[in-house]
Each structure stands twice: as structure tokens, then as C-alpha cells.
Amino acid sequence: MEADLKQLEASLGYAFARAELLLRALTHRSLAKQVAQEAGTGEAAVAGDNERLEFLGDAVLNLVVAEALFTAHPEWDEGELTRVRAQLVSRQYMAGVARAIDLGQYLRLSRGEERSGLRRKSTVLSNTMEAVVGALFLDGGLKPVRAFVERRVIGQAAEQLAEELRSGAALGNYKSALQERLQAARVGAPVYRVKSEMGPDHRKRFLVEVRIQTRAGEPGETVEPLARGFGSTKKRAEQDAARHALEHLAADAGAPGPDAARSDQAESDAAQANAGESGPHQEERAAP
């Protein structure tokens, strides 16, 4: 274990003065509980797991990532800073950071969980990574955390994430990208309406229309439909509609005007509906 910890410290870029902090950060609740039961001390010894360090590390990670983005990108507004930070500290992303330093091999698990493959699960990896950040902070303050975050968490990812989020590509979050674009242009807010539901319950398709709300507090005051989208759920249909709307808004001045764009969209909608809902089970009814 000592040799292994030295290798992990090399990956973290920091040598712990109190190695017990790193050991605690790597200790899953299952092992702490197993040790307590074998010692006959019941739940009292479960405090030896990494959950408190995980709590601390989550807060420290958010602070350090926010500080780094704020300092490095004075041109970004609050929305961009918030969204990029959210991506960088997300469980999915932090699990990727943990895998990059092979953190899973250092986890301290109970015998039962060792056989279950727990050390490969994203949630466990991200939680442990946060616990390690908490241990870094307690042992060395913010300096080693900043160094680790700069090298392993942010790197070149921030710029790429910002661009993806602005275009709506990251995680397919086209709705957020459309809302930010319309707000920046001061033309109103997007409003989504389910126009129809097609197909049987086990294979349903939704048609959603997105419009621009032109008066705050008056949902009925909207312009012509900006775009439409299809999906197997209402949320997916809304994302598809937002994606089409972003495509229309991104067209340059020489592109076809709004009427032509809506005409093309209508033809596309019809083609998708016919392709996806043909057959004896097809049915359509107005959404409530």
C-alpha cells in the first residue's frame, strides 16, 4: 500500500505530510463498516470512511474551479462561467479525471464490494476523487488543490466546453443554448408547446413547437413558430425543436428568410412523421 500511495501521490503532484488523510479519502464506507463489525464496535467506527472528506472536497473543488475560470476568462459572462464550472465538477467529468489517474485501483473496499466491481463505477470514482481533493486541502491548503485542478481538471477542456455549450452541442443541451441566445439578442424567451402525440403508448412520438414569447408574463403573445421537433418523450422533442431553432438562427444574412425556413421545417417534420409512424398502429391526437 505504501508503494501504491507513492505512485498515486505522483499522479496527484503532491506528497502528503499526513498519509492517513489520503488513506481515509480512499476508504469506502463498505470497508469501514466491515472493520467496525469485525472489531465489535458496530456503527461507531463507520466514521473512518471517506464521506466527510467527499463533502469537503466537493465544496473546495467548486471554489477552486470557479476561481480558475474567473481569473483565466475575464471575457466570459456569469452564464458561461456557471455552465462550464458545472460541467467540470459534474460526476461524469470527475469520474473521467479519476480514471485518468487510475484512482480505482487504490480504492479500499470491503471483501464483498471487491467482488462486485464497485471500483469501476462512475459514482464511486467521482465521490472518491472529491474525497481526495478534500484530503489535499486539509493537508496542504488550496495550493496543491489549485495545481491539481489546473493540471488534471481544467487543462484544455474549459475552452472546448465553453464553445460546445454556446453552440448547444454539449450533452445535447440545445434548450439552454437557445434561451441564452434569445436573451442575448433581447428578442424574448422560448416557449414550447406539444402540438400532437403519435403512436401507441409503448412507442409514442411527440411533436413540439417552439415560439418566442415577446411579452413577459403573457404566454399567449408569441410570434410565428420558430421551429418544430420530434422525440420519444416531450423533453427530447423540445431539445430537437431547440436544435432546429438554433440552426435557423445561425444562418447568415444570405440564407433563406424565416418563412422559407419554416416551410423547410414543415416538410422535414412531415417526412419524419411519415417515416417514424407508418404502419397499422399509427394514430394522432391533440395533446392536452
Active site residues: 58, 130
CA angle (268 as vertex; 267, 270 as ends), nearest 5:
65
How far is 9 from 217, CA to CA, in rounded Å? Answer: 55
